[in-house]
Amino acid sequence: MTRRGHDILHDPLLNHGTAHTREERDRLGLRGLLPHQVIPQEVQEARVLENFHAAPTDLARYTILTNLQDRNESLFYRVVTDNIETMMPIIYTPTVGQACQEFSHLFRRSRGMYITIGDRGEVADLLANWPHDDVRVIVVTDGERILGLGDLGSNGMGIPIGKLSLYTACAGIDPATTLPVTIDVGTDNHDLFDDPFYVGMKQPRVRGEAYDALLDEFMEAVTARFPRALIQFEDFGNANAFRLLRRYRDRYCTFNDDIQGTAAVALAGVLSALRITGGNLAEQRFLFHGAGGAGLGIANLIVSALTEAGLTTADARARCWFVDSRGLVVASRTDLTENKLPFAHEAGHAPDLLGAVDEARPTFLIGVSGQHGAFTQDVVRRMAELNERPAIFALSNPTSKAECTAARAYEWTEGRAVFSSGSPFAPVEYQGRTLVPGQGNNAYMFPGVGLGVTAVESGRVTDEMFMVAARTLAGLVSEDHLASGSLYPPLRDIREISAAIAVAVAELAHSQGLARVPRPEDLAAQVRDRMWSPVY
Percent of the chain with pLDDT over 70: 100
Instruction: Give the domain extent around 29.
Output: 6-91
Residue 203 lies in a domain: yes
> Does residue 85 sit in the same domain as residue 105?
no
Residue 438 lies in a domain: no
Domain end (from 58, 91, 124)? 91
CA-nearest of 496, 515, 499, 497 to 507 is 515
Q: What CA–CA distance (Å, rounded) separates 19 from 27?
A: 14
For the chain, the average pLDDT equals: 96
Domain end (from 91, 122, 154)? 91
Say what the pTM is: 0.95
Q: Which helix (H) or strand (E) holds 365?
A: strand 364-367
> Does residue 180 sit in the same domain as residue 306?
no
> Does residue 361 sit in the same domain as residue 451?
no
Q: Is 163 a catalytic residue?
A: yes
Domain end (from 229, 252, 275)? 252
> Does residue 85 sit in the same domain as residue 226?
no
Residue 148 — very low, low, confident or very high, per pLDDT cuts 50/70/90? confident
pLDDT tens digits, 97-147: 999 999 999 999 999 999 999 999 999 999 999 999 999 999 999 999 999
Residues 6+ apart with CB under 8 A from 522: none
Q: What CA–CA distance (Å, rounded) separates 319 from 335?
A: 21
Residue 483 lies in a domain: no
Residue 534 lies in a domain: no
Q: What CA–CA distance (Å, rounded) separates 199 from 197?
A: 6
The per-residue pLDDT for 150 is 95
- Residue among 62, 92, 410, 444 flagged as catalytic: 92
Cα-only R_g, the chain? 23
Q: What is the DSSP code (8-state) at residue 258?
A: I
Residue 535 lies in a domain: no
pLDDT tens digits, 404-461: 999 999 999 999 999 999 988 999 999 999 999 989 999 999 999 999 999 999 999 9
SS3 label, residue 492: helix
- Least confident segment among 25-29, 171-175, 421-425, 527-531: 421-425
> Does residue 122 sit in the same domain as residue 75?
no
- Residue among 77, 163, 211, 488 flagged as catalytic: 163
Domains contained in the chain, number: 4
For residue 446, report the phi and psi dihedrals to the nearest 5 degrees: -65, -35
> Does residue 378 sit in the same domain as residue 508?
no
CATH code of the domain covering residue 219:
3.40.50.10380
Calculate the CA 225 to chain-centre distance: 25
Q: What CA–CA distance (Å, rounded) separates 120 from 100?
A: 26
Please work out, in degrees rounded to the nearest 5, the angle formed at the alpha carbon of residue 235 by the alpha carbons of 423 and 119. Answer: 150
> Does residue 420 sit in the same domain as residue 276?
yes
Q: Are 12 and 506 in contact (CB under 8 A)?
A: no
Q: Is 340 a catalytic residue?
A: no
CA distance to 234, 317, 338, 340, 395, per residue, from 238 (Å): 11, 21, 12, 12, 17
Which strands sit side by side in the sheet containing 178-184, from one edge to the other? 113-116, 178-184, 137-141, 230-233, 254-256
What would the mean pLDDT of 386-400 be, rounded to a whole number?
Answer: 95
Residue 346 lies in a domain: yes
SS3 label, residue 394: strand
Residue 434 lies in a domain: no
Residue 2 — very low, low, confident or very high, per pLDDT cuts 50/70/90? confident
Residues 6+ apart with CB under 8 A from 202: 186, 187, 192, 193
What would the mean pLDDT of 153-170 be, rounded to a whole number?
Answer: 98
The per-residue pLDDT for 220 is 98
pLDDT tens digits, 241-271: 999 999 999 999 999 999 999 999 999 999 9
Beta strands per DSSP E along 142-240: 178-184, 230-233
Q: Are 441 and 88 in contact (CB under 8 A)?
A: yes
> Does residue 384 sit in the same domain as residue 450?
no
SS3 content of the chain, % helix, strand, coil (to 5): 50, 10, 40
> Does residue 28 sit in the same domain as residue 52?
yes
Q: Are 155 and 171 in contact (CB under 8 A)?
A: no
> Does residue 234 sit in the same domain as residue 344?
no
Q: What CA–CA distance (Å, rounded) separates 279 from 282?
A: 8
Q: Which helix (H) or strand (E) holds 125?
A: helix 123-127
Residue 3 — very low, low, confident or very high, per pLDDT cuts 50/70/90? confident
> Does residue 150 sit in the same domain as residue 239?
yes
Q: Are 23 and 83 in contact (CB under 8 A)?
A: no
SS3 label, residue 35: coil
The per-residue pLDDT for 309 is 94
Q: What CA–CA distance (Å, rounded) separates 496 from 503?
A: 11
> Does residue 242 sit in the same domain as residue 268?
no
Residue 13 pLDDT more than 90?
yes
Residue 439 lies in a domain: no
CATH code of the domain covering residue 358:
3.40.50.720
DSSP string, 192-261: GGG-TT--S--SPPP-THHHHHHHHHHHHHHHHHSTT-EEEE-S--HHHHHHHHHHHTTTSSEEEIIIII
pLDDT tens digits, 81-110: 999 999 999 999 999 999 999 999 999 999
| Strand 320-324, strand 327-328: pairing | antiparallel
